[in-house]
Amino acid sequence: MLTSRGWWHLLLVFALLAAGLVGQYAASALLRAQSRQFGNSLSLVLLGLTLGLWFCWEWLLFALRIGQARRSLSVTRTLCDDRGAVETLWAGRTVEVQVVVVAPAGLRIAYAVLDDRLPFGVEFLSGAARYEGEIDGRSHATLNYIIRCPFAGLVRFDGVRAQFSDLQGFFYHETFLPAVAVFRVLPPLADIRGHSPTVKRSNLLPPPGQHRHRRPGSGSELLDLRDYMPGDPPKTIAWKVSARRDRLITKEFESEVPLRCTLFLDTSNSVRLGPAGQNALAGLVQIAAAVAQACAGTRDLVGLCLFDEHRADWTPPARGARHLVGLLNRLSDAAVLAPSMGQTPLDRLLPLAYGFAQEVYPRLLNSDVNHVPG
């Protein structure tokens, strides 16, 4: 497409050609009485033709470069945290996004403006998500910026919006470089380390996955003392206390049983209402993730059941790091569930869908793609 500078250049070419042709016609009508005027008009015609041919040549080169750029430009996206490149994000943590647009050898675009399309719900903190300058096979375009995901779910990067122009600023072309990348955002990690109780409740820690119950059992912690009854094992007799009381006293210990926890998470439409990350479902996901991590910290068996109005999906209780990561992945997938639209009028959705398609998929809206052959 032509810029305002290009239109002014065309207007100048047409003005020179018109002035030269008019002057030449007037000179020929006077039987070339003024030869100097005839030479000036011919110079204007030659100047106008030269500028016009040069303009057409620049347009042809620009069209060829744009066609090659749309086919061969590649976009590489890398997300890094403090430890390097990652494929899974965590809610509430910052991550650095690096986008590199690589051009093949032999392709040179004099001026390009690249804008990375940020996903919905992501907070932009710092950096540059925009690039302006030259692109060729030796110097690549690089965009670096830092974002933060405030809530769990999915983050989708669609690609880079590109605007190209020639060196003189006569032509420009706007397109979209698709580079779809979807990253899962896990719920935030619960800070369960370093928060031990200030009062010491027992001398010995229970085995992994065991919890003390305040009832008699076969545990290791003392619960109470009582009189000896026939049938009690001799090893439970408290000999020092029995000597002081002058009768046999036996010891009762706490009961230790394993704990099985199953989390029931409501994913119905009643909790999906509202923007993603700001509805009731986001809070339920965060609570469920904290409870699951607390159970995993004591090596308890934890399971998950997701239910709505129509079905229920159940994961049996288990322990281990792999099982916990699987639960967090399922909670992240549940956090992005959208409410059912019901009887939403179609005329309200079509402008939104058309605007999104016009920005992200402009190639699919071209006339050469959306026409019916004769």
CB 153 within 8 A of CB 277: yes
> Mean pLDDT, the chain, as a whole number?
80
DSSP code of residue 197: -
CATH dotted code for 73-186: 2.60.40.740
How many CB atoms within 10 Å of residue 187? 25
Q: Kind of pairing, strands 260-266 and 301-307?
A: parallel
Mean pLDDT calculated for residue range 35-58: 77
Report CA dihedral (317, 319, 323, 329) to the nearest 10 degrees. Answer: 70
How many CB atoms within 10 Å of residue 23? 20
State pLDDT tens for residues 140-169. 888 999 999 888 888 889 889 888 888 888
Q: What is the pLDDT of residue 70?
A: 81
Under the banding of pLDDT at 50, 70 and 90, the label for residue 134 is: confident
Q: What is the pLDDT of residue 46?
A: 84
Under the banding of pLDDT at 50, 70 and 90, the label for residue 111 is: confident
Separation between Cα atoms, residue 63 and residue 56, nearest integer Å: 10
Q: What is the pLDDT of residue 83?
A: 83
State pLDDT tens for residues 215-264. 555 556 677 788 888 888 888 888 888 888 888 888 887 766 667 888 99
Give the residue ranges of DSSP H helices in 227-279: 239-245, 269-272
Q: What is the pLDDT of residue 74?
A: 87
pLDDT of 31 above 80: no
Q: What is the pLDDT of residue 200?
A: 40
Q: What is the pLDDT of residue 244?
A: 87
Q: What are phi and psi of 183, to 5 degrees?
A: -120, 140
Q: What is the pLDDT of residue 215?
A: 53
Q: What is the pLDDT of residue 146?
A: 92
Lowest mean pLDDT among 26-35, 88-97, 221-230, 344-353: 26-35
What pTM does this model have?
Answer: 0.69
Separation between Cα atoms, residue 205 and residue 194, nearest integer Å: 16
Under the banding of pLDDT at 50, 70 and 90, the label for residue 204 is: very low
Under the banding of pLDDT at 50, 70 and 90, the label for residue 210 is: low
The CB-based long-range contact list for 291-297 (8 Å cut-off, 24+ gap) reads 291/261, 291/263, 292/263, 292/324, 292/327, 292/328, 292/331, 293/189, 293/190, 293/192, 293/324, 294/190, 294/192, 295/259, 295/261, 296/321, 296/323, 296/324, 297/192
Q: What is the pLDDT of residue 306?
A: 92
Q: What is the pLDDT of residue 199?
A: 42
Lowest mean pLDDT among 29-33, 156-160, 168-172, 343-347: 29-33
Under the banding of pLDDT at 50, 70 and 90, the label for residue 351 is: confident
Give the residue ranges of DSSP H helices in 142-253: 239-245
Count Cα neighbours of 145 within 13 Å in the Cβ-side half-sphere.
Answer: 18
Distances (CA, A) of 117 to 85, 99, 128, 132, 176: 20, 11, 12, 15, 10
Residue count of the chain, please give it: 374
Under the banding of pLDDT at 50, 70 and 90, the label for residue 341 is: low
Spans of all domains in the chain: 4-70, 73-186, 210-258, 260-335
Q: What is the pLDDT of residue 27?
A: 58
Please compute Rg for the chain using Cα positions. 37
Q: What is the pLDDT of residue 260?
A: 80
Report CA dihedral (358, 122, 278, 333) to the nearest 10 degrees. Answer: 80
pLDDT of 182 above 80: yes
Between residues 256 and 177, the one the model is more confident about: 177
- DSSP H or E segment with residue 304: strand 301-307
